[in-house]
Structure 1
Amino acid sequence: MQDASNLMFRFAAPHDASAIRTIEFEAGQRFATVGMTGIADAPPMEVEIVNRKIAAQQIVVAVDAGETCVGFVMFEPQPTRFYVQELDVLTSHAGQRIGAALLEQVAQLARAHQVTQLTLSTFREVPWNAPYYRRLGFRDIEEAELDAALIARRDAHIARGLDESKRVFMRRDLA
């Protein structure tokens, strides 16, 4: 078993697109264990979306010594924060702090752009969602604190069929 210190982190390259989609699909399968079969059955992101995010340097991957991609984080830079869109690690590599290390890569990029906050939206009760992010220093954003951009994102989630009553926006302030 290896930990995150034995991995290399880099921006995703075009040849990583297939692995990213595979990791996303495999990670989604875990949702069947908490009764969220709609998410578990969902197809991975369209390859065009992945390629666009790769070209924009908005995906960081964790790769092992053999250059096998074992996790990724996809984010969207915004003027005052970086929004974490997705964080997935192969279940075979869970518990090795790879997700935490990927988030730290995004935090470093945000700091380099003088951005002092990471935000995300996730499921409140799924153990590897909100409880996990709280352990990594994120806090819940109360409804009254949501700005226009986060409200628009929530509306987009609802339009895609997500039950926002089971979700929470979270933020982590960067020192």
Structure 2
Amino acid sequence: MVLVRVAEAADLAALPEVERRSGACFREVGMDRVALDPPMPVRVLEGFRDRGALWVAVEVAGPVAFLAAERLDGALHVAQVSVDPRCARRRIGAALLAHAGARAVRFGCAALTLTTFRLVPWNAPYYARLGFREVPPGAMSPGLAARHAAEQAAFPHWPRVAMCRAG
């Protein structure tokens, strides 16, 4: 059984490895550069936790997934969601997103936003199944547009998309 809760200080050291394992799956679709992208440093994760926007999914052995978010232009933006592939296909990512959606309302945010790879099956198509819809470039808020552009520049060979759903 997996429990979703606010991240605690003791969880932080395990989260970069969860992200690294999650990212390794990109090798399966020829995206080695993405797989090699370093995980968030613990000090960055601490910042998300200190702002009350870092949640973990834990089992007896510890964290198996996490979601880091931040306020961006009136929405709660999902900066990172990572699920250890050993725990994939158990709806843990969906549970984290549902938890973040509930918290978005408490933060005074009407929506969740994220940016992701358009063509990777466990990215944009997955989020679409969870109710996220593509935000056309002309409809992006300034912060979301800047985030999207920066991420597209970092990974120019793989199209990125911004998505949104009601919290």
What TM-score does the superposition give when structure 1 sets the normalisation length? Answer: 0.89
Q: State the distance in 2 between where 1:58 and 1:117 align.
A: 14
After superposition, what is the alpha-carbon deviation per residue over 1:114-144, rounded to whole angstroms, capped at 9, x for unaligned?
A: 3211100000000000000000000011111
Q: Which amino acid aligns with 1:96?
A: R
Correspondence 1:35 to 2:24:
no
- Kindly indicate whether the alpha-carbon contact (under 8 Å) linking 1:124 and 1:167 is maintained by their aligned counterparts in 2: yes
Q: Which moved more, 1:11-20 or 1:164-173?
A: 164-173
> Which residue in the other structure is 1:118 paired with?
112
Q: 2:82 aligns to what SS in structure 1?
A: strand
Q: State the distance in 1 between where 2:73 and 2:117 align.
A: 25
Post-superposition shift, 1:46?
1.8
Post-superposition shift, 1:52?
1.8
After superposition, what is the alpha-carbon deviation per residue over 1:9-64, rounded to whole angstroms, capped at 9, x for unaligned?
A: 11111111121101000000000111110111122212221222222222100111
Unaligned runs of 5+ in 2: none
Q: Which amino acid aligns with 1:167?
A: R
> Which residue in the other structure is 2:138 paired with?
144
- Kindly indicate whether the alpha-carbon contact (under 8 Å) linking 1:157 and 1:164 is maintained by their aligned counterparts in 2: no
Q: 1:95 aligns to what SS in structure 2?
A: coil
For residues 50-89 of structure 1, the aligned pairs below 5 Å read 50-64=45-59, 66=60, 68-78=62-72, 80-89=74-83
Unaligned runs of 5+ in 1: 1-5
- Kindly indicate whether the alpha-carbon contact (under 8 Å) linking 1:79 and 1:115 is maintained by their aligned counterparts in 2: no
- Percent sequence identity over matched residues? 36
Q: State the distance in 2 between where 1:158 and 1:166 align.
A: 7
Q: How many pairs align?
A: 167
Q: 2:11 aligns with which of 2, 7, 16?
A: 16
> Which residue in the other structure is 2:156 paired with?
163
Q: Which amino acid aligns with 1:60?
A: W
Q: State the distance in 2 between where 1:165 and 1:24 align.
A: 19
- Cα 1:41–1:164, aligned 2, differ >3 Å: closer, same or farther? closer
- Kindly indicate whether the alpha-carbon contact (under 8 Å) linking 2:73 and 2:142 is maintained by their aligned counterparts in 1: no
- Kindly indicate whether the alpha-carbon contact (under 8 Å) linking 1:17 and 1:51 is maintained by their aligned counterparts in 2: yes
Q: Which moved more, 1:129-138 or 1:162-171?
A: 162-171
- Kindly indicate whether the alpha-carbon contact (under 8 Å) linking 2:71 and 2:77 is maintained by their aligned counterparts in 1: yes
**What is the aligned-residue RMSD (CA, Å)?**
1.6
Q: Which amino acid aligns with 1:141?
A: V
